[in-house]
Structure 1
Amino acid sequence: MTTTQPTPFDAEIKAKHRKLWAAGDYPAVADLIAPLGRRLVDALYIRSGDKVLDVAAGAGNVAVPAARAGGHVVATDLTPELLETGEARHKDLGITWRTADAEDLPFDDDDFDIATSCVGVMFAPNHQRCADELVRVVRPGGRIGLINWTPTGFIGELFGVMKPYAPPPPPGAQPGPLWGSTDHVRSLFDGRVTDHRFTTTTVEIDKFPDGAAFRDFFKAHYGPTIVTFRNIADDPTRVAELDSAIAELADRHITDGRMEWEYLQAVLTVV
């Protein structure tokens, strides 16, 4: 097994990342997009006996349906609070919940039949390192399945709206929604996977009657939005600007109480 020795700077970044995703109530946000986990499990044809690794698993949107399909599942995340929620909800499924960094997975080479990540690994700062680790831990002929928000879809637009108000990203960090670009995913796995299957589609969200309701929910529950508002908390003018911008963006995407959030699904076979 290959490992990367973290530097003090890396450790600081990871600590901030854990704190961000522990803020609010991410499992409540993940519940909105629960269908995505089932879609990815179906696309990967997970069956009884498959050894499955869910990376940046949160509370288990993929891990849970993968276990119900018969997989032997290990769910990992950098934020232990999310794993604790998943384990408390699903004690009966035999999932192993383990704190781990997507950029430095604590598993042997070729250890899994399938690796997955659903709007999770996209938020790690070093995209190439994450892709390298996914390839490393999956056996030849095994599969990698990813779902990531696209740059041009609603969540990609939301991050664009928040960016001017958010804390600066760490040096060298790449924008998460790049993982929603087919060309970017191809470049990350170049020469090491085959049988690429890419699908760009949407998940329907029917929780929010208007943009203000969406904004208020994300301000209370979604770590990146919470941290962004904290960053400008001392400037009421900027807070009001961001309040208005998020509500207006959501209003443009809501029709009859429904939204469509666009994502890229990628299924790759390891060479």
Structure 2
Amino acid sequence: MSEATDAVAADRALKARHRAMWAMGDYPSVASHVIPEAGAQLVKECGVQRGDSVLDIAAGAGNAAIPAALAGADVVACDLTPELLEIGRQVAAVRGVGLDWQEADAEHLPFADGEFDIVMSCFGIMFAPHHQAAADEMVRVCRPGGTIGMSNWTPQGFIGRMFAAMKPYAPPPPPGASPPPLWGDEEHVYELLGDRVTDVEARRRTVRVDAFPQPGSFRTFFKTCYGPTIAVYRSLGEDSDRAAALDRELDELAEEHTRDGVMEWEFLLLTAHRTA
């Protein structure tokens, strides 16, 4: 095979692993029970209005896409993992709102240049392994003058530190892949978007999490529901000592961030307009 063919095959294999990882557990429960207001907050910050054409990248089960549709926008929710999209369809049907659900890779979006008024992502695009490719696609499909908005966990916040704690226990990342929490660093995102955007507003916010008041409850929930955490534990196989060590690290991290049964998880909320 040629070098180009090898690269395509490697990318397909990588995306298949990502797809399988996010199909593990129950991510919709994370979105709906742990951070239920995050999607609606991003929709508000993006100024979504009736009649806007909106793309939600790495939409999962629609925690931002569904609020955008409820605001009257014409919404496309795309994600790499069809299992999450199917759950989103069911939730949208219960809530009585229609939107278009499409399986798509954030790094290779199947949409036309400038197709959408608003392009957003709520804790989603940050998990695309090749940050520049995903950022390029996000800008490309937004119309000139349109809005780009995203919420991403910061490296210094709780989720960023959780990924740092799991890293020594996980298999090495594939060549060219970047850590997801880098999307929560303002300078990194500025470099990704470059001079293709203007009116950039980056604000560090926190989400209040009161779902884990008991010691060990965060770790137990994420080991059951959160794909990246499940994947790291599975990679340890029968190594019970390393699994126990990771248990301790996650419990200590959660305890450090819990006050009176409440955690504060920091994220970066960024909005911008595509240059004309």
Bucket of the pairwise TM-score, normalised by the shorter protein? over 0.9
2:237 corresponds to which of 202, 217, 233:
233
Q: CA deviation at 1:211?
A: 3.8
Written as runs of structure 1 = structure 2, the 5 A alignment for 1:182-197 is: 182-197=186-201
Measure, in 2, the Cα distance between the counterparts of 1:44 and 1:90: 21
Measure, in 2, the Cα distance between the counterparts of 1:258 and 1:60: 25
CA offsets per residue over residues 12-62 of structure 1, 9 Å max, x none? 000000000000001011111121111111111100000000000000011
Cross-structure match for 1:113: 117
User: Is the contact made by 1:210 and 1:257 (CA closer than 8 Å) also made in structure 2?
Assistant: yes
Measure, in 1, the Cα distance between the counterparts of 2:28 and 2:170: 22
Measure, in 1, the Cα distance between the counterparts of 2:39 and 2:215: 26
Query: In the alignment, does 2:19 pair up with 1:24?
Result: no
Provide structure 2 residue ranges, at least 5 long, that are not aligned to the other structure: none
User: Is the contact made by 1:211 and 1:254 (CA closer than 8 Å) also made in structure 2?
Assistant: no
Query: In the alignment, does 2:134 pair up with 1:130?
Result: yes
* Corresponding pairs, count: 268
User: Is the contact made by 1:40 and 1:147 (CA closer than 8 Å) also made in structure 2?
Assistant: yes
Measure, in 2, the Cα distance between the counterparts of 1:211 and 1:133: 41
**Worse-matched range after superposition: 205-214 or 236-245:** 205-214
Measure, in 2, the Cα distance between the counterparts of 1:211 and 1:43: 34
1:83 corresponds to which of 82, 85, 88:
85
- What is the RMSD of the two structures over their aligned residues, measured on CA atoms? 1.2
Provide structure 1 residue ranges, at least 5 long, that are not aligned to the other structure: none
Letter aligned with residue 82 of structure 1: L
SS at match of 1:106: coil
Cross-structure match for 1:65: 67
SS at match of 2:194: coil
CA offsets per residue over residues 79-109 of structure 1, 9 Å max, x none? 0000000101112211101000000000000
TM-score where L is the length of structure 1? 0.97
SS at match of 2:245: helix
TM-score where L is the length of structure 2? 0.95
State the 4+ residue runs in structure 1 displaced beyond 6 angstroms.
none
User: Is the contact made by 1:150 and 1:181 (CA closer than 8 Å) also made in structure 2?
Assistant: yes
Cross-structure match for 1:40: 42
SS at match of 1:94: coil
Cross-structure match for 2:98: 94
Identical aligned residues as a percent: 54
Measure, in 2, the Cα distance between the counterparts of 1:190 and 1:28: 35
